[in-house]
């Protein structure tokens, strides 16, 4: 399927799911989708969409799954995402998104359990508000331009099973923030612990860049 999504789609007020993934759809994602107040799943991944994520998506109060990965979206992640009070899954990876991770993401502490933002151009620090997401099982922030220290509030993420932080410019010790809190639940954990600026005894993989990740011998010894 090729072409653009028509703006008239906003008239389908009773729509619950919009799945147009793995096509050759292009152009900008119409802001009129934000009028679909009953929408629970929006799956537009693996297309050729350009432009920004519409701020009107903040009106999608019933949305549970937002999957916009593998497109050519740019601009920042809109702060309005914090209004999606039912959101369970957020997948925006493999785009060219820039700017920071909005602090408003911490508002989704009663629902959100799956975040994948890897392979973008996100910058600045990881917001401390991410520590509010106590239900989070998957957090992938790898391959961005994130910097600063790991927020101590991440110690509240005790439900984490998969955590990916490598290929950024983050610094500090993950030992007390992550390792001492939830080693029993973590199934896979990768960070830049081949760098002297990052410490992580429980990481499954230690990395120095995108292509140089190795099994962490320190974790193997501690089993």
Total-model pTM: 0.94
Task: Provide the residue-wise pLDDT of the chain in tens; the chain has 223 residues.
Answer: 899 999 999 999 999 999 999 999 999 999 999 999 999 999 999 999 999 999 999 999 999 999 999 999 999 999 999 999 999 999 999 999 999 999 999 999 999 999 999 999 999 999 999 999 999 999 999 999 999 999 999 999 999 999 999 999 999 999 999 999 866 789 999 999 999 999 999 999 999 866 578 777 655 444 3
Q: Based on the structure, what is the number of domains in the chain?
A: 1
CATH (domain of 181): 3.80.10.10
Q: Rounded to the nearest 5 degrees, what angle is found at the Cα of 72, between the Cα atoms of 33 and 14? A: 15
Query: Domain span at residue 64?
Result: 2-222
Alpha carbons 214 and 179: distance in angstroms, whole number: 18
């Amino acid at each position: 399927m090729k072409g653009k999504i028509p703006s008239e789609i906003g008239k389908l007020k009773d729509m619950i799911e919009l799945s147009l993934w793995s096509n050759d759809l292009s152009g900008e994602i119409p802001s009129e989708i934000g009028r679909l107040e009953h929408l629970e799943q929006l799956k537009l991944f693996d297309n050729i969409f350009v432009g920004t994520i519409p701020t009107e998506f903040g009106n999608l109060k019933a949305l549970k799954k937002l999957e916009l990965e593998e497109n050519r979206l740019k601009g920042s992640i809109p702060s309005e995402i914090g209004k999606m009070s039912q959101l369970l899954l957020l997948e925006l990876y493999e785009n060219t998104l820039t700017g920071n991770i909005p602090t408003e993401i911490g508002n989704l502490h009663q629902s959100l359990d799956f975040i994948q933002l890897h392979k973008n151009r996100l910058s600045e620090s990881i917001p401390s508000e991410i520590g509010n997401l106590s239900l989070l099982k998957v957090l992938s922030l790898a391959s961005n331009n994130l910097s600063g220290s790991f927020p101590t509030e991440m110690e509240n993420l005790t439900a984490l099973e998969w955590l990916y932080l490598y290929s950024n410019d983050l610094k500090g010790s993950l030992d007390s923030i992550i390792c001492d809190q939830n080693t029993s639940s973590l199934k896979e954990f990768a960070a830049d612990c081949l760098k002297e600026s990052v410490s992580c005894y429980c990481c499954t993989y230690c990395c120095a860049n995108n292509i140089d990740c190795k099994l962490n011998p320190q974790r193997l010894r501690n089993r």
